[in-house]
Amino acid sequence: MSPEQWTRSGTSSATEGAAGPPAATAAKPTREQVIAGLRATSEGGADLVQLLTPEGQRVTHPDFDIDISAAQLRDLYRDMVLVRRADREANALQRQGQLGIWVPLLGQEAAQIGAGRAMQPQDMAFPSYREHGVAWCRGIDPTELLGIFRGTDHGSWDPNTTRFHLYTIVIGNQCLNAAGYAMGQRFDGKVGDPDGEATVVFFGDGATSQGDVHEAMVWSAVYDAPVVFFCQNNQWAISEPLERQTRVPLYRRASGYGFPGIRVDGNDVLASLAVTRWALDECRQGNGPVLIEAFTYRMDAHTTSDDPTRYRLADEQEAWKLKDPIERLRVHLIREKFAGQDFFDGIDAEADELAARLREFCFNMPEPPPARMFSEVYAEETAQLAAQREEYLRYLAGFVDDEAMAGGVR
Amino acid sequence: MSPEQWTRSGTSSATEGAAGPPAATAAKPTREQVIAGLRATSEGGADLVQLLTPEGQRVTHPDFDIDISAAQLRDLYRDMVLVRRADREANALQRQGQLGIWVPLLGQEAAQIGAGRAMQPQDMAFPSYREHGVAWCRGIDPTELLGIFRGTDHGSWDPNTTRFHLYTIVIGNQCLNAAGYAMGQRFDGKVGDPDGEATVVFFGDGATSQGDVHEAMVWSAVYDAPVVFFCQNNQWAISEPLERQTRVPLYRRASGYGFPGIRVDGNDVLASLAVTRWALDECRQGNGPVLIEAFTYRMDAHTTSDDPTRYRLADEQEAWKLKDPIERLRVHLIREKFAGQDFFDGIDAEADELAARLREFCFNMPEPPPARMFSEVYAEETAQLAAQREEYLRYLAGFVDDEAMAGGVR
Amino acid sequence: MAAPALERPTATAGTQTVTIAKALNMGLRASLERDPKVLVMGEDVGKLGGVFRITDGLQKDFGEHRVLDTPLAESGIIGTAIGLAIRGYRPVCEIQFDGFIFPGFDQIVSQLAKLHFRSQGKVRMPVVVRVPFGGGIGAVEHHSESPESLFAHISGLKVVSCSNPVDAYWMLQQAIDCDDPVLFFEPKRRYYEKAELDPTTPPIPLFNSRVVRAGSAVTVAAYGPMVRTCLDAATAAAEDGLELEVIDLRSLSPLDLDPVFDSVRRTGRLVLVSEAPAESSVTSEIASRVQQECFYSLEAPVLRATGFDTPYPPSKLEEGYLPDLDRVLDVVDRSLAY
Amino acid sequence: MAAPALERPTATAGTQTVTIAKALNMGLRASLERDPKVLVMGEDVGKLGGVFRITDGLQKDFGEHRVLDTPLAESGIIGTAIGLAIRGYRPVCEIQFDGFIFPGFDQIVSQLAKLHFRSQGKVRMPVVVRVPFGGGIGAVEHHSESPESLFAHISGLKVVSCSNPVDAYWMLQQAIDCDDPVLFFEPKRRYYEKAELDPTTPPIPLFNSRVVRAGSAVTVAAYGPMVRTCLDAATAAAEDGLELEVIDLRSLSPLDLDPVFDSVRRTGRLVLVSEAPAESSVTSEIASRVQQECFYSLEAPVLRATGFDTPYPPSKLEEGYLPDLDRVLDVVDRSLAY
Ligand SMILES: Cc1ncc(C[n+]2csc(CCOP(=O)(O)OP(=O)(O)O)c2C)c(N)n1
Ligand SMILES: Cc1ncc(C[n+]2csc(CCOP(=O)(O)OP(=O)(O)O)c2C)c(N)n1
Ligand SMILES: [Mg+2]
Ligand SMILES: [Mg+2]
């Protein structure tokens, strides 16, 4: 899917690729925008770690360079295209009433795939609710995400085997849970060598204001916990621009706790991969924690219930389209002759299949049985709850009897 | 009161004044102490702002110097001696069963008097529970503190007229309340000129781990609230040394939020005054917030219920005695001939009077009437609570009747 | 796209048909106009007008210092509101969804509820915490909870819930006028229910309950979203010749139970309905008080139709979790069977 | 001064006289010894042994990775304990005083209580949160509260309270062994009450209530610190020829009410006693359930002797605030007057 398909209405005058006004200019908020509170910026600043420019140019970085093969680059491209396609399909499914809500990741593919692919199988991830790309990297099929948004479950995958915790909606909670988990990795003696374990926790720019995120940083620093704090600064917390949460770039928080903080171009999958891999290695070796601020942009609405036209200008999105994470890698693959049309066609076909499969799956998802709500409240069920379930089932059975008698169908 | 009177038993081998081993050596924790977790240090580090050395020598500072008269120095001395005496007397009253508990400020007089005297009448203070010195500066008589610790009230002074909020025991809560109050100062147009208003909030090193303190810093930064975060780092949170809360000096937290953080010698009343005055002025002018870490030491137990011998070594206290806040100002006053024996005798006499008055007051404190617990639960009382009060009073009256009948006295 | 301008309600505006959501917006607007110390604060309440648009247009008209988009942290929202109240403001905080009030719980319990008492009346806490609550909207986790009982248990707080547009309009203004902290629970699934509102008709007191349908067979008491359910149940029952008396409790703390006692003395039967789990809840409290006050009048024990003692289930199951017309009538039948 | 070494209790230790505080310490020690996954964490639990010395000597013997002095933040304590539990540990968190549990409330309600349910049973939460609770110790604010009802209302949690050394020893170990999150309320004013403990006598199940004194006139049910008060009241009543049946509820969620129902069916009268304010509380719930189950047996309404619906008062007033022998007997009299 190319950038011009981003806007739901086909009427937008999207500027293609590296053409059009330079991103920096387009993105710099005007005085009026600033006054109107529309202050999100696409400027990552001097400290931004970047390995692939928006124009698809490979650049080097003194600290965070990475050796990567053409095959690996193609894999990253495939990951991003597929998760975007799954995301768009799920978004469409919501529009069609098949899902109650969807939380789009559009625009954040590079941040998530970079981080997700930096992880080793033994590492643990604690997502927020938008980490469909990380889920993908942890081997969670996109179909497994649908239950949450269709309302059939609160997460269907096994956090223990996938090493991908359940989605957490209460902002910030998962950061402390991740810190505790990482403390456990350390207590288990899994830290201190290159094959050690580490944890990555994902949260947003808005989340950084929550006390829990602070406490997680305090704990992790004090216990040398092997945890990477991966903040996707997508510039917005629903309708609130970054400036409602902080005066200074978020990566700087780390210095107040005494561990490294790095701002990475979150639309650059290579940089995200390189920085996260470095951070995870630091953690593995016992030099954690590390904070990564992935500087990116939420290209779609906060959720399908949101209407971003109420609070941000189309201009801003236009500016960010020029930094599209997938497009820049596509250009790079072509320019370096790492991939030909066959490859791109193959990926597109695969994406179509995935979308079809997701759709099919969604239409056929079974309703959970009524008694499910009483299940697994406790590991050791209480008599009180068992009695409530029995009474409820009796009550339901009464309807069936009534209907049977009335010959009706409920 | 001179340093050797600090320890309750007279048996300690306190080293007087600037004699004995240099503070830095005595204070540097040994390897064994570090391993044992006894890691508090008396080293403020290179960034420590100091205007009066432990030896009573006036030194200059490029950023935070201060013009101060001999009379003002004497006043600061008087403040410190009197609050210490009140503190010691209250501590003794607790030992005699007159108070349920006491929270000593011993050793933190300079931090508190410096900060308290830097405040203007129009400024607002939000204390924690150990700020008897700040209370003093806000015109709260030490007798007014006793109710809390005797259990007759939760704070008897009027926070509105004294501009000194009630003591707050739930760690960190008051920081957010102060941030909100300071936002109000700003909304009221009281910020932006030299006669503007500002707020100071007091909290401890342990408190810095609480989410509320973080959120208060986020809020204050985002709303440019005129609030000075005054952290008394007294090295201990009950039994936990600073290292259980942070890897790096606490003043560095500020940079993560984008406002200044300064570490001041908390045993140097001049430095505390100068830095707080500067910070308040910054806030008044609209350049807040500011974080001040006052590097000091809790010379006594956490409270009268605490037994610090279980978790810290006498050595550490000995090292800190050499940095006594009162002693260094006394030496300075003498050396500079700013005060003679008469002055010191006069202050001592005043301290004796204060102690006697405090004692007297404490012995004569009335018990609150039983119905008091129903008062002021709500501004607009509920029928439910009124009924409970009536019933309770009837119940109590029943005893009186019983006793009257039995001729007994309850 | 700019937010649509709201008509400013005036005392002479006359009757209009409004939703609960609109009535709340009008109530906030009226309070903001009446008292310059009133502030509205919370996540996304400014430009967006809140995720439910309850604060729609207010920041535009009253400015950023009256209607504040706050950082994302509920302890911060409540904690700074307390500070603003100490400063003399009357903050109205929006908690985005019921399930997100818990990070602010400490400030509510430790400071908001206690400061008037702690200061022996010297500090007032005229803070309103608005909470869209309850289920039935097909939402994801944490968006459908009913935590009101937790606050009813905390001394020093007042807790109310509105069930219709007229109450929404008045009760919110009354809560803002109240010098005590008020937790204001809004029935989010009913936000778009409509009724006639005449802003010139004076309201009943905030903390009073009210008989909303008279009947003689069984008393049914509820609050917030369940009032509608109970009224529907009463309509259905009436078709079968059974007259239910329906009471809208309105205030959960303090409880105004005299109308309930009166009713139960006539009917001898009481059914309590709420979405919240029953265990140690407001409905427990009412049952406890009624069995005490009406001991000799009760012909059946006080019975309850409530959410189950489970976490709020995935939304595909909420229809079964939430009391509905059938469940209410089932419990009414059980009451009558005694 | 080093902490005094504790004797290690073994199955063959035989009977010893211990306080509740000591029994809790022994229980923790036994659990730490039995299962290397058990951790103790909280503020000052290490070198100091906790402000009440419940964890005395444990860090010394089990090391800093088993007994953790945490940073000062309750959300952090609970939140990291949850993460440790996900990792396979069984953390036992100490909250220093009742009034300081609220900063951790969100993690308790949103994650600890729900994770087993959210994950459809794939994630277990064997976390114990120890809370010294209740008043009567002459303490300053926030040190004497009784917040247990708040947790009893939250589905997914289990809530227990011990009242004597034998229960303290066993119930704590049983709570640690339980695969569900348990809020463990310790009667701090009774910490130094003594009893004989024989660690070889097997305990009754954790979630069972128990008749601790048989009687036929009135049933009195309580938990935690009020059990002692009720037993004393029963002794006093017996001198007047009135036999009270006293039930120690032990588990507040789930409630084990069968023994209460049985008792009430015999006595026809029930008085509930707790320090917590009555409003929307555990005692409300019990009253509600008993009036339903024992409708035809009750000769008087269920009555309660509790703390008042006020914030906990300054300690000079707590004697009047807390139910004592006289208040309990007064309510017993009122019950008998029906
Ligand atoms: C404690 C809490 N408060 C409020 C919300 C409602 N809410 C959901 S997402 C969101 C914004 C989050 O912004 P950010 O952290 O930047 O993450 P993003 O959604 O941009 O990925 C808010 C306020 C919530 N889920 N949890
Ligand atoms: C939320 C909360 N948790 C725990 C406590 C118990 N407590 C009282 S003081 C204290 C230590 C505070 O240390 P610090 O912030 O350094 O202040 P200091 O007492 O040293 O002045 C603790 C843990 C509390 N009062 N509030
Ligand atoms: Mg964001
Ligand atoms: Mg301290």
> What does the pLDDT look like over B246-300, one tens digit per residue?
999 999 999 999 999 999 999 999 999 999 999 999 999 999 999 999 999 999 9
* Partner B, chain A 174-233, Cβ-Cβ below 8 Å: 208-215, 218, 221-222
Q: Report yes or no: D44 at the B interface, CB cutoff 8 Å.
A: yes
Best mutation target among D96, D310, D312 (most B Cβ atoms within 10 Å) is D310
Q: Which residue has the tokens 């009270």?
A: D244
pLDDT category of residue C10 using cuts at 50, 70 and 90: very low
Q: Is ligand 2 within 6 A of the CB of residue D98?
A: no
- pLDDT reading at B352 higher than 90: yes
pTM: 0.94
- C-beta atoms of D284 and C287 within 8 A: yes
Most informative mutation of A176, A302, A305, A311 for ligand 1 (most atoms within 8 A of CB): A302
- C-beta atoms of D124 and A379 within 8 A: yes
- pLDDT reading at A24 higher than 60: no
- pLDDT reading at A407 higher than 50: no
Cα of D77 from ligand 2 centre, angstroms = 14
pLDDT at residue C45, as a whole number: 98
pLDDT category of residue A11 using cuts at 50, 70 and 90: very low
pLDDT category of residue B19 using cuts at 50, 70 and 90: very low
**What average pLDDT does the segment D156-163 reach?**
98
- The rounded distance, in Å, linking the Cα atoms of D4 and C321 is 54
Cα of A237 from ligand 1 centre, angstroms = 6
CA angle B209, B215, B220 (to 5 degrees): 125
Q: Is ligand 2 within 6 A of the CB of residue D96?
A: yes
pLDDT at residue C5, as a whole number: 35
Q: Which residue has the tokens 């933040």?
A: D73
pLDDT at residue D295, as a whole number: 98
pLDDT at residue D5, as a whole number: 36
Give residue ranges with CB within 6 A of ligand 1.
A 130, 169-171, 204-207, 234, 236-238, 298, 302; C 43, 72, 74, 96, 100, 103
pLDDT at residue B399, as a whole number: 85
Q: Which atom of ligand 1 is nearest to the CA of A204?
A: 15
- pLDDT reading at B115 higher than 60: yes
pLDDT category of residue B404 using cuts at 50, 70 and 90: low
Q: Which atom of ligand 1 is nearest to the CA of A170?
A: 26
Q: Which residue has the tokens 């990380």?
A: A134
- pLDDT reading at C93 higher than 70: yes
- C-beta atoms of C311 and D110 within 8 A: no
pLDDT at residue D6, as a whole number: 34
Residue A193 phi, psi dihedral angles, 5° rounding: -145, 165
Chain C residues inside the 8 Å CB shell of B155 = 118-119
Chain D residues inside the 8 Å CB shell of C76 = none
Nearest to B31 by CA among B21, B39, B42, B41: B39
Q: Which atom of ligand 1 is nearest to the CA of A298?
A: 20
How large a percentage of chain B has pLDDT more than 70? 87
pLDDT at residue C1, as a whole number: 31
**What average pLDDT does the segment A107-126 reach?**
98
How large a percentage of chain C has pLDDT more than 90? 95
pLDDT at residue A45, as a whole number: 83
- Nearest-CA distance B99 → chain D (Å): 10
Other CB atoms within a 10 A radius of the CB of residue D92 amount to: 28
- C-beta atoms of C79 and B187 within 8 A: no
**What average pLDDT does the segment D134-157 reach?**
98
Span C184-225, pLDDT tens digits? 999 999 999 999 999 999 999 999 999 999 999 999 999 999
Is D143 a residue of the active site? yes
> What is residue D71's three-state secondary structure?
coil
Nearest to D323 by CA among D271, D270, D275, D272: D275
Residues D183/D302, Cβ–Cβ less than 8 Å: no
pLDDT at residue D236, as a whole number: 98
Cα of A135 from ligand 4 centre, angstroms = 42
**What average pLDDT does the segment D167-172 reach?**
98
Q: Which of A212, A311, A367 sits opposite C47 (nearest CB)?
A: A311
**What average pLDDT does the segment A294-316 reach?**
95
Residues A358/A136, Cβ–Cβ less than 8 Å: no
Q: Whose CA is nearest to atom 13 of ligand 1?
A: A237
- The rounded distance, in Å, linking the Cα atoms of A180 and B385 is 44
Best mutation target among B164, B377, B388 (most C Cβ atoms within 10 Å) is B377
Phi-psi region of B151 (alpha: psi -120 to 50; beta: other; left: phi over 0): left
Q: Is ligand 2 within 6 A of the CB of residue B142?
A: no
pLDDT at residue A19, as a whole number: 34
pLDDT at residue A13, as a whole number: 33
- pLDDT reading at B46 higher than 50: yes
- C-beta atoms of A219 and D255 within 8 A: no
- pLDDT reading at B2 higher than 80: no
- The rounded distance, in Å, linking the Cα atoms of B73 and B75 is 5
How large a percentage of chain D has pLDDT more than 70? 96
**Binding partners of B (≥3 Cβ pairs within 8 A):** A, C, D
- pLDDT reading at B145 higher than 90: yes
CA angle D303, D305, D308 (to 5 degrees): 120
pLDDT category of residue D301 using cuts at 50, 70 and 90: very high
**What average pLDDT does the segment A108-137 reach?**
98
**What average pLDDT does the segment A77-87 reach?**
98
pLDDT at residue B29, as a whole number: 58
